[in-house]
């Protein structure tokens, strides 16, 4: 009986994920599955009444995005220029990466922070790394507005330079904290990793804003 109930619950979750993401788009179920897991984890951490909060969140998303998340994203993307799409994608991936790696850091627990600080530092880098790469790749597409190439080239050189410098400085900070002998929370190392790429990401986003028509 328990097995039958588990199968029924899983089937219902699959339907919810498909509706949430959008059944008319190939990437809809994938987006819906990810959104469902994020909302489920958020509701579980927020309150004990997980099912009620999760249900309300799902209803709100479905009402706001009748065509599913993938359908809404496609409609918005068709109205935006390429730099605007790259900026939106970069910001979205940055938020998702921050939430995912922050959750992973919390799951590992504080007991790991003194033994493996670079693990949490690496998670911080992973939080913003994909977002920075998306923005930087967007810069490589050139300027559709006829902006001076020298200006675009400055962003292309400054962004990776800032990334390299940020990683070197934050790595040195992690080593200094570890050698101090004091116990620091794992989130501290995660923040150092994320902060390493903030300047580089900001420069890349500013470059995309510069190239907007």
pLDDT value, residue 10: 62
For tokens 């009620």, name the residue: 52
Asked which of 21, 47, 70 is the last residue of a domain, the reply is 70
CA distances from 199 to 111, 114, 159 (A): 30, 27, 8
- Number of domains making up the chain: 2
What pLDDT was estimated at residue 146?
Answer: 45
Q: Which pLDDT value is given to residue 6?
A: 57
Same domain, 29 and 84: no
Examine the domain organization and report whether 140 and 43 are in the same domain: no
* Among candidate residues 35, 70, 105, the one where a domain is terminated: 70
**Does residue 64 share a domain with residue 102?**
no
8 Å CB contact between 199 and 128? no
Q: Which domain does 96 fall in, by range?
A: 80-213
Residue 75 counted as domain residue: no
Residues 63 and 90 in one domain: no
Q: How many CB atoms lie within 10 A of CB 11?
A: 10
Residues 103 and 27 in one domain: no
Residues 66 and 96 in one domain: no
**116 and 93, same domain (yes or no):** yes
pLDDT at 117: 83
Q: Is residue 129 part of a domain?
A: yes
**Cα 57 to Cα 14: distance, rounded to the nearest angstrom:** 17
Shared-domain flag, residues 54 and 146: no
* Domain presence at residue 136: yes
Exposed (0-12), middle (13-18) or buried (19+): which is 101, by Cβ within 10 Å? buried
Distance of alpha carbon 135 from alpha carbon 163, whole angstroms: 13
Reading the chain (213 residues) residue by residue, the pLDDT tens digits are 445 655 666 667 677 777 777 777 666 777 777 777 766 666 666 556 666 666 776 777 667 766 776 676 666 556 666 677 788 888 888 888 888 888 778 777 644 445 678 888 888 888 888 889 888 888 886 554 444 466 677 888 899 999 999 999 999 999 898 888 787 888 888 899 999 999 999 999 888 888 765
Three state DSSP letters for the chain: CHHHHHHHHHHHHHHHHHHHHCCCCCCHHHHHHHHHHHHHHHHHHHCCCHHHHHHHHHHHHHHHCCCHHHHHHHHHHHHCCHHHHHHHHHHHHHHHHHHHHHHHHHHHCHHHCCCCHHHHHHHHHHHHHHHHHHHHHHHHCCCCCCCCHHHHHHHHHHHHHHHHHHHHHHHHHHHHHHHCCCCCCHHHHHHHHHHHHHHHHHHHHHHHHHHCC
Among 199, 191, 130, 209, which residue's Cα sits nearest to residue 159? 199
């Amino acid at each position: 009986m328990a097995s039958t109930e588990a199968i029924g619950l899983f089937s219902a979750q699959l339907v919810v994920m498909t509706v949430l993401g959008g059944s008319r788009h190939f990437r809809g179920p994938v987006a819906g599955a990810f959104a469902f897991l994020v909302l489920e984890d958020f509701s579980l951490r927020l309150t004990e009444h997980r099912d009620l909060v999760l249900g309300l969140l799902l209803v709100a998303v479905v009402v706001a995005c009748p065509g599913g998340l993938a359908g809404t994203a496609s409609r918005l993307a068709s109205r935006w220029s390429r730099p605007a799409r790259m900026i939106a994608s970069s910001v979205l991936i940055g938020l998702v990466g921050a939430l995912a790696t922050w959750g992973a850091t919390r799951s590992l627990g504080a007991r790991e922070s003194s033994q493996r600080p670079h693990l949490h530092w690496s998670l911080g880098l992973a939080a913003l790394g994909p977002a920075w790469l998306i923005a930087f790749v967007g810069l490589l597409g050139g300027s559709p507005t006829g902006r001076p190439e020298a200006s675009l080239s400055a962003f292309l050189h400054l962004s990776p330079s800032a990334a390299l410098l940020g990683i070197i400085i934050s790595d040195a900070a992690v080593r200094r904290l570890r050698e101090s002998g004091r116990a620091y929370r794992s989130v501290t190392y995660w923040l150092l990793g994320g902060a390493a790429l903030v300047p580089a990401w900001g420069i890349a986003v500013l470059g995309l804003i510069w190239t907007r028509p």
